[in-house]
Chains A and B, each alone.
Chain A
Amino acid sequence: MNAPLRNEAAQLLAISRLVDDRPNERIFQVDRSIFTDPKVFDAELRYIFEATWNFIGLEAQIASPNDFVTTHIGRHSILLMRSAQGKVGAFLNTCRHRGTVVCPFKQGRQKFHVCRYHGWAYDSGGRNVSVTEEASGQYPNSFSDENHDLVPVARLGSYRGFLFASLSADVPTIEEFLGDTRAFLDLIADQSDSGALEFVPGASTYTFDGNWKLQFENGLDYYHFASTHSSYVDILKKRNAAAGSGAGHPTEADDEKEGQGSFSFDHGHAVNWSIKRAQLYGRPLGMDPARLDAVRQRVGTMRAKWMLRQRNLTIFPNLQVIDISSAQLRTWRPLAPDKTEMVSHCLAPVGESAAARTLRIRNYEDFFNASGLATSDDNVMYELCQTGYEATTAGPTQGYLRGAAQPGTGPSVHAGELGVHPPEWSFGAPGFGGETNFHPGYREWRRLLQRAAGKFE
């Protein structure tokens, strides 16, 4: 191995050691520099985002032939299309000729995408259908022998209409990658009689001046809720008092033990959930007793019960799906060590009643919009953390051990209810908010960097 490659490998290994994970000693520390160092950021884009499965969209976004949406995997612009024949494809959105972004639009329906620079054209299946003036005799045979189609992603996978893509072929199958998180995607999809999900029109995009891992952690963090979102909780309580005691809000059976917990899964994924005797907000699924009964009949009482429990799912590295007062699907795109772009969608089962849909929308706007009453608080907190992380002489933060006193590793009653097998789980009182559920993401982060280092050797 030559010296530059050896240096690259050594640097990646050094970065991977910024996560200090010693389970037997109950030590888990994250160096502040992984949130601030441009070298770490570059390594993350190349060897994490651009080397594993990323969520890229819902099949429902491209329901008809020739539908397209554009998105990103790491730094790569991605064109997700349904071909004229109905096949889903994901391509690097860069012209084979000069690298120009072929499709500069957010979404639409087009049979052909013509690069406006020199006119090369591609069909909705990604096939090159025109190299401008190729027949004029100016090109050598070596050019004509080349393939000129849009470059497809290395792997494309779909589960229940959730589309994932990887720029590296060296990944497990999508089923293996998702593992038991599939049970939690099912809990959302199966709220629809047809099993179909859709984005409610009106996605929003926002940025915060902080590292993407702040969002990754926050989506698994129940500890912050009472303090960060206390002004939102006050509003909910006041509304409930005005409307009369939470009529129509979902409840748990009297013999159900209240509490909060999490499951940690392989490949960096984790989910938080809570069991509350009474909830502060109504649920679209819970507001219509007849429909809820029908769902119970179809999926069984156990899974229906879990559909009404708050669940915050993180699929590493770029997806969070939250099902509480509404359902949100959000992705992040790292722009810089200290800048992240978020895209947030309201997720909904196809076929719910008009009243349930409107409740879903109002609850979503309330909580999840950056113009709402809760996410806005999170975003400011991320920025305060980002600024605080610059204080490197303060040493590692102490935010990764809550809940580590009693880690769950054997059988879990709750996992048993869903038939999932998390390697680690937690469950505690209603105020429980563990931080051990951040560990899988950081372990996968470290594994991917170490794997990349290994490839240089």
Chain B
Amino acid sequence: MAKSAMSDIDANAVAAATIFREARLLDRGEWADWVAMYREDAVYWVPAWLDEYETTSDPATQVSLIYHDARRGLEERIERIESRKSITALPLPRTVHQISNVEASETGPGQISCDSVFAVHVYDPRIARGHVHHGRYRHLLTRDGEEWKIARKVITIANDRVPTLLDFYSI
């Protein structure tokens, strides 16, 4: 079967490279490079669980754990941490993002949707306590010239009873 002009990309390779880079930047605290991966109008959404089986589905009428409809919301979180005024970041925990089961597909011209799973190991040196946040990611990537940007990221956390706090670096 002849390939269309737009599908001469390897969606899986593009998505994996993007998502793994995002994980590396988060784990290394390279916040500026990390947030630059997002489009200015990017949606960053961590739904809450309604019951044992279902998450919230509408951020306008339901409460999410985190919902930002622009990159600005993430930038505020970074500023808060860098201000050294938030005790949550004094000290910052050390994190390791492990991501696998990457399944991507091209969903339109210059657009890739990708499902993956994550386990983020968080270690808080203040109390020598570790925790694993685990769940699923769904990324929507769009092409911006030569670059791929994150247009939307949905993070579904399996273990949603939050120990003390949760922020962008720990999921």
Contact = CB atoms under 8 A, between A and B. Distances in A.
Interface of A: 105-108, 200-209, 228, 230-232, 234-235, 238, 341, 346, 354, 357-358, 361-362, 364-365, 369-373, 375-377, 379-381, 383-384, 387
Given A204-B63, A234-B80, 5 more contacts: A206-B161, A206-B165, A209-B164, A230-B85, A234-B83
Interface of B: 46-48, 50-52, 56, 59-67, 76-77, 79-80, 83, 85-88, 126-127, 129, 160-167
A216 to B, nearest CB: 18
Contacts of B67: 362, 365
A206 B47 CA distance: 15
30 contacts: A105-B51, A106-B52, A201-B61, A202-B64, A203-B48, A203-B63, A204-B48, A205-B161, A208-B164, A209-B127, A228-B87, A230-B85, A231-B83, A354-B60, A361-B60, A361-B63, A364-B63, A365-B65, A365-B67, A369-B63, A370-B162, A370-B165, A373-B76, A373-B86, A376-B86, A379-B164, A381-B87, A383-B126, A383-B127, A383-B164
Contact of A369 (B56, B65, B127): B65
> Which 4 residue pairs are nearest across A and B when measured between Cβ atoms?
A202-B63, A376-B165, A206-B162, A231-B85
B162 A201 contact: no
A346 B64 CA distance: 11
Nearest to A205: B161
A370 B87 contact: no
A213 B162 CA distance: 19
Contact residues of B: prevailing secondary structure: loop
Contacts of B165: 206, 370-371, 375-376, 379-380
B62 A201 contact: yes
A375 B160 CA distance: 16
A207 B161 contact: yes
A371 B86 contact: no
Nearest to A106: B51
Contacts of B127: 209, 383, 387
Nearest to A202: B63
A373 B51 CA distance: 25
A260 B9 CA distance: 61
A60 to B, nearest CB: 15
B166 A371 contact: yes
B72 to A, nearest CB: 9
Contact of B87 (A204, A354, A377): A377
Nearest to B55: A202
Contacts of A231: 80, 83, 85-86
A205 B56 contact: no
B83 A200 contact: no
Contact of A235 (B46, B50, B65, B76): B76
A361 B45 CA distance: 14
Contact of A108 (B51, B86, B166): B51
Contacts of A384: 87
Contact of B166 (A106, A234, A357, A370): A370
Nearest to A343: B161
A202 B54 CA distance: 10
B162 A371 contact: yes
A365 B66 contact: yes
Most chain B C-beta atoms within 10 Å of own C-beta, residue among A201, A231, A362: A231
Nearest to B81: A231
Contacts of B65: 204, 365, 369, 371
Contacts of A383: 126-127, 164
Given A228-B87, A369-B66, A377-B88, A205 B164 contact: no
